[in-house]
Structure 1
Amino acid sequence: GYNSHSVLSILMQTYMDSSTVLAPVPSFWGLVNSAWNLCAIGKRQSPIDIETTHMIFDPHLTPLRLNTGGRKMYGTMYNTGKHVSLRPDKTHLVNISGGPLGYSYRLEEVRLHFGSEDALGSEHLLNGQGFPGEVRCKT
């Protein structure tokens, strides 16, 4: 099984707005790879239960990279009452690339979800199991 104290589920959410580069968004992914067809037709996509038996291994994935331009990242952190949020200052842009991402995305927000009990912090599940916390990067 999974040790809820040592597992942190990291999920990427990619959205597109007028300030970012034109790049495929989640609803487009099902058209890129037929194995991801639920991304194109799914109605309730988040939060999800990630079932590892249904995952597809991609041996060509590269490490995920955070590019800060060699500078420290500055931003504002606040508590929304539902999660802790960190928003980088617009003068210190942070980009995410690599992994499954075919493009570089500007990091808009990092959300830290956590709970008061071990299995209640994460919004998403792994094989039906919740975890103490979850980090979500919004681009």
Structure 2
Amino acid sequence: MNALWHDGSWDPSWDTWWHYKEGVMGGPSHWGQTAFMAIANDLWPACYQGKMQSPISISTKHLLFDPNLVPLKISGSDKQIDVEVVNTGQDLQVKILDSIASIVFSEGPLVYNYKFFGALIKFGSRSDRGSDHQIDGIAFPAEVSVY
């Protein structure tokens, strides 16, 4: 589960060193290089040198079926949960406002129980872009990251 929460502590000037325009510096094919070049003291070398991080393209021909996998379980509060939704212009950010109410994800492929705090909804201006990740090289209009 990946996301970056905009809680006021994030410097908005960082938003300009990456974007979703292909073929130009700062776009998806340069994200690792951009991070590597922007941080002089080499804080994030895995972003530049790593081979197993986002964004990814899942190849369905390489997927394996797990017959022991059980369905994902979603449980939690029976009462209404208040959320805040913010359109940043790049994505929609959803945050649970009630710290007592909870939604929990468990079972399925998960080893632990995961409490839902919020979500990041990425979307594009066209139906063939918007998602960071791809399936068989195909991007989608939107993608949801839960954290």
With the length of structure 2 as denominator, give the TM-score of the two structures: 0.61
SS of the equivalent of 1:53 reads: helix
Alpha-carbon distance between aligned partners in 2 of 1:43 and 1:128, rounded to the nearest angstrom: 17
Give the whole-Å Cα distance in 2 for the aligned partners of 1:101 and 1:76. Answer: 27
**Superposition map of 1:16-35 within 5 A:** none
Choose between structure 1 and 2 for higher RCO, CA contacts under 8 A separated by at least 6 residues: 1
Report matched runs for 1:70-89 at 5 Å. Answer: 70-89=78-97
CA RMSD of aligned residues (A): 1.9
Q: Does the CA-based 8 Å contact 1:88-1:94 persist in structure 2? A: no
Counterpart pick for 2:56 among 45, 48, 53: 48
- For 1:94, the equivalent position in structure 2 comes to 103
Name the structure where helix makes up a greater proportion of residues: 2
Output one character per residue of 1:43-102: Cα deviation in whole Å (capped at 9) or x when no partner.
441111011111121122222222222222221111122210111121212111121001
Letter in 1 for 2:110: L
Post-superposition offset of 1:106: 0.9
Question: Quick check: 1:73–1:94 contact (8 Å CA) kept in 2?
Answer: no
User: Deviation digits for residues 110-133 of structure 1, max 9, x if unmatched?
Assistant: 111111111111110000000111
TM-score between the two structures when normalised by the length of structure 1: 0.64
Q: Does 1:111 align with 2:135?
A: no
Ranges in structure 1 where 5+ consecutive residues have no aligned partner: 1-12, 16-41
Quick one: percent identity of the two aligned structures?
Answer: 35
How far does the alpha carbon of each residue in 1:14-71 deviate from its partner, in whole angstroms, 9 at most, with x for none? 69xxxxxxxxxxxxxxxxxxxxxxxxxx544111101111112112222222222222
Residue of structure 2 equivalent to 1:63: 71
Question: Gaps spanning 5+ residues in structure 2: where?
Answer: 4-49
**2:107 alignment partner AA:** G
On the 8 A contact 2:134/2:140 being kept in 1, the answer is yes
* Bigger share in strand: 1
Alignment partners' CA distance in 2, 1:125 and 1:14: 15
Larger radius of gyration: 2
